[in-house]
Amino acid sequence: MPEIDRPWLKHHDPTVPNSPRLDPKPLFQFLLDAARRWPDRAAISFQGATISYAKLAKLSGLVAANLRRHGLRRGDRVAVMLPNTPQAIIAFWGVLRAGGTVVFTNPLYMETEIVHQFTDSGARFLITLDLLWNKIAPLRDQLPIEKFFVTSMADGLRFPLSLLYRLRAWREGHTGQVPYDGKTVHTWGALMGGLSTFTAEGLIPQKDLALLQYTGGTTGLAKGCMITHANICANTQQILSVLPGLGDKPETFLGILPYFHIYGLTVSLNLCTAVGATQIPFARYSPLDVLKTIEKERPTVFPGAPSVYISLLQQKNVGQYDLRSIRYCVSGSAPMPVEWFDQFRNATGAHICEGYGLSEASPVTHINPLNGVAKHGSIGLPLPGTDAKIVDMDVGGPPLPPGKMGELAVRGPQVMAGYFNRPDDTADVLRNGWLYTGDIAYMDEEGYFFIVDRKKDLIISSGYNIYPREVDEVLHQHPKVREAVAVGIPCDTRGEVVKAYIVPKPGEKPTKAEIIAFCRQKLANYKVPRHVEFRESLPKTMVGKVLRRALRAEEDRRAQGCGVPPVQDDASDAA
């Protein structure tokens, strides 16, 4: 590969290696190693019940053995449609140990999304929750699933909570809906039976797939990223190399980020297991429950997203809880506004490591130094063993000089093998060993990278390029704004104009004129929003990233459905 300049190497923390020692191995080896080194240490703590590493290794081995008994072959895809629960963790390791490929599925998916993901992946088995059966049952004839394994929340609870849960479910009519027949529809117990365990041998980490991670559904049909065992192992080891001291003493991780999202899976679950830490899964996110858990369980590592950290700080009684046990916060999915960044650091005393990644890279590629300079607004420096460059947005090619904006491209051991059964889409993003991310960015003289916007989110108004993130930053500075996002919408006279969607702070009632006047003080006229809409909430992914394109699609549907032509520029706003 041709050499590129790597100015970032001079700005990593002194303990961070330029080229970390990577050990490609089956991903489940992290679990087996932890069970060997710390057999009695708690791997999972859930609602007062704990599972040791030795027991987790045994349970996942039982799942592997029973999946094989039911006909799973090496490379078969197994869909896991569960919230963050002990069963999700056990199933994940069990499928991998059986030699299968995990297809994590969002439990909130609607019918069309479920049918597409299961059909596209060719999943033969599904591990899911009884509460989701009513969503699955009408689709059975459309799915390739041969066998269903259905668990209950009670299966992850300790006695007597498990009994009380089942009694309440019976009283509320949540039982008896799943037609268990022992042939195609099985209980969770069918994966827990027997005495023998199983661990696949002969896997080739660089070739065998650990995950089919679906992504890109906001712009069309979601594509399955083929993530190998070596990809995720490398990314876990790369992250560890920039967090010195992590795992030197027993750690406890908060499992708030959903495991079905690769950010949550890698940074919460895999990293946790690699250092023999205790995982605290949250089946659903409740800010008050999280605050109580932090004070009671004293977690040391808090992987999250800005929306999560901000929601905790916005709780009226946040000052009543001791949050000082947290040593590390690994933040991703969106930039953390400076105001909130400082507030959360002051409340916890934690190191907040902001980074960047994407599903196609398992997912982390950049992170700000832990002890060095962390530049606000920057995604940081490429991880050790990762190269990055900025290229022309239209033709790609050689790196652009520092300060020039273009498309961010990355290469490294964490980059996916391609999109499942989509050679053309793969060829679009994987070129000459580089992953073209579709993000507009620039690199400064010291090798820090700054994301400007998504390539497809770029707004072109009267020939001017407008990067919505720049408008977002200004909107967030308004004292009455809680959340905000800028989107380009069609305009007859300008091609596109900026529309701002705003969630006001509680008790505040900003006006459109107030918002626009504020933006005029900080933005060039062509960047100032021409339209403002106030909302109670913004559409987001499960890890808190605002779905900008969902808002734009909503505008398109509104115009088409109502027969409304593209908006005219408001002359009063353009003054």
Q: If DSSP codes are grouped into helix, strand and coil, which group holds residue 561? A: helix
116 Cβ contact partners less than 8 Å away, ≥ 6 residues apart: 221, 222
pLDDT in tens, 279-325: 999 999 999 999 999 999 999 999 998 888 988 998 989 999 999 99
- Phi and psi at residue 409, to the nearest 5°: -125, 145
* 126 bridge partner residues: 79, 148
Give the model's pLDDT for residue 463: 64
Residue type for position 384: P
Residues (pLDDT < 70) of the chain are 1-2, 162-163, 165, 169-176, 216-220, 463-464, 492-493, 561-575
Angstrom distance (rounded) from CA 376 to CA 265? 26
Give the model's pLDDT for residue 341: 81
Give the model's pLDDT for residue 461: 83
Domains and CATH numbers, the chain: 45-204 (3.40.50.980), 458-574 (3.30.300.30)
- Phi and psi at residue 32, to the nearest 5°: -65, -40
Give the model's pLDDT for residue 562: 44
Q: Are 530 and 573 in contact (CB under 8 A)?
A: yes
Q: How far is C-alpha 110 from the geometric centre of its chain's CA atoms?
A: 19
Tokens of 183: 């042939």
Angstrom distance (rounded) from CA 325 to CA 419? 41
Q: If DSSP codes are grouped into helix, strand and coil, which group holds residue 319? A: helix
* E-only strand ranges, 133-251: 147-151, 185-187, 209-215, 223-228
| DSSP code at position 535 | -
- Taking CA atoms, 153 is separated from 48, 109, 148, in Å, by 14, 19, 16
Task: Tell whether omega for the bond before 363 is within 30 degrees of 0, i.e. cis.
Answer: yes
Q: Are 264 and 301 in contact (CB under 8 A)?
A: no
Tokens of 210: 């650990």
Give the model's pLDDT for residue 491: 80
Q: Tell me the pTM.
A: 0.83
Q: Are 412 and 234 in contact (CB under 8 A)?
A: yes
Give the model's pLDDT for residue 412: 97
**Closest alpha carbon to 344 in 374, 307, 295:** 307
Task: Provide the CB-side half-sphere exposure for 542 (13 A, CA).
Answer: 21
Tell me the longest C-alpha to C-alpha distance in the chain: 76
Angstrom distance (rounded) from CA 199 to CA 417? 24
